[in-house]
Chain A
Amino acid sequence: MPDLPDPVDLAVPAFVALVLAEMLVARLKDRSRYCPRDTLTSLMLGFGSTIASVLAGGMVFALATWVHQFRLFDISYAWYWFALAFVLDDLAYYVFHRSAHRVRWFWASHVIHHSSQHYNLSTALRQTWTGFFSLGFIFRLPLFLVGFPPAMVFFCAGLNLVYQFWIHTEVIGRMPRWFEAVMNTPSHHRVHHATNARYLDKNYAGVFIVWDRMFGTFEPERDDDRPRYGIVHNLPDFSILRAAFHEWWGIAKDVWAAPGLRARLGYMFGPPGWSHDGSRDTSETIKARWQARQGVSAIADDGTSPLPHPATQRQDDMGGRVGERAGTA
């Protein structure tokens, strides 16, 4: 087994240099892109995450090695297996990441990464402390069963994480079209971090945006709907501990007060915002409400509602849509 380095460790100096460079750009262009207290929180959460990873990493590696003994194939360390492992690991990341937004148990661990209202390179380092506890590593276990060596998979996972660093920025607008078509980019990932109803639960990709295009979760960034960052219920302060644990605390309170087993399970494994009496907002209810409002305002303004409502469907015999003003393009 080759002694593979940890790509994240090697990238730390570059992380520091690029955050510094982005701060200087912010100083010149838009000082609100950074906030010192938010930056300190993000970076301390990143620092804590590395400590948590070290503490849990041995157990995860041991589990991966145990699973690997039941492998279907013997896969060597040839370069092409690294390439395939990288692609499949990114697919596993997509599945994990989608689950991390759709299942509250995983969201409780992942929400930390979305808890800043800023979107800059320091936000990229705002990483979970509770990944091991939430069992997020189970999404990679199939790779070991297939036969990819644990060291190879963890090396690829490190590269994946390093790639995702640079896409957390507003400094870069759009990349060349061919690149935007295949790769995850700052534009695609700004959508993922946005709380605008249009953008909720979209663009889960790690490295390759093709997974979102394939599985129907892709949403392009629009110039007329600038992303607002954060979470639906933003944190009231810059507390590091609150950012790290608030959703777990929320789960504990809800489970404690829940009426019955079904409600308890719903509060743990339902989508974020689920409630037994329907009194809270999930991303679906937020989107539905937004679409209804869009429909009303669009009909009122120019009749170009995005809703597939009968009243807004194209009426070919009328030469336009219901509500469309005569003479407008």
Chain B
Amino acid sequence: MNWWLTAASLAAVLALAGIAWLLRLGGPQRLETGADAIRLAEALSSGFEGKAGIVSTSGELAAAAGGPGDLVLIQPLGARHRADRFTGARIAMLGDGPGGTAITLQLSPQQMFRITVPDPEAARAFAQVLGD
């Protein structure tokens, strides 16, 4: 084992990661529309077919409903996204406010999630598909 090469490789690894950070590479990708949310949910969650999608006011969170209880939640993961699918999800609360329509989702008996959507129509269409 070449210890010099090993040490130099480790130093290079840390230096490159540091340079990536200094160059401000990555960063969250904004989603724009419900169609974006559906497309991404279908791409990231095998077998899911979205019928209604919502995107948060920040553009970083999104959700897509495929039918009653069938939900894919999309959250940023570095410069990409992660998707989690829930089959027993429901709308716990839905209310309009100055910042948009706040939707509280019950993902499981122990897990809640809140998302604020700028478009009230999209929020209601989403809630209708997901059911309560």
Q: Which residues of A contact B (CB under 8 A)?
A: 9, 12, 16, 19-20, 23-24, 26-27, 31-40, 43-44, 46-47, 50-51, 54, 117-118, 122, 195-196, 228, 230, 232-234, 236-238, 281, 286, 289
Contacts and interface: CB of A to CB of B under 8 A. Distances in A.
A23 B21 CA distance: 10
Contacts of A37: 26, 78
Given A27-B23, A117-B78, A234-B77, 17 more contacts: A9-B2, A12-B5, A23-B19, A23-B20, A24-B23, A26-B25, A31-B24, A31-B27, A35-B78, A39-B20, A40-B14, A40-B17, A50-B6, A54-B1, A232-B46, A234-B83, A236-B82
Interface of B: 1-2, 5-6, 8-10, 12-14, 16-17, 19-21, 23-27, 29, 43-44, 46-47, 77-80, 82-84
Nearest to A125: B13
Contacts of A195: 43
A20 B17 CA distance: 10
A16 B84 CA distance: 35
Contacts, number: 106
| 6 smallest beta-carbon distances between A and B, as pairs | A35-B26, A35-B78, A40-B17, A34-B25, A35-B79, A117-B80
B1 to A, nearest CB: 5
Nearest to B13: A43
A32 B46 CA distance: 24
B43 to A, nearest CB: 5
A281 B27 CA distance: 31
B59 to A, nearest CB: 14
Given A9-B5, A31-B25, A286-B46, A47 B78 contact: no
A12 B29 contact: no
A35 B25 contact: yes
Given A32-B29, A33-B25, A238-B78, A50 B20 contact: no
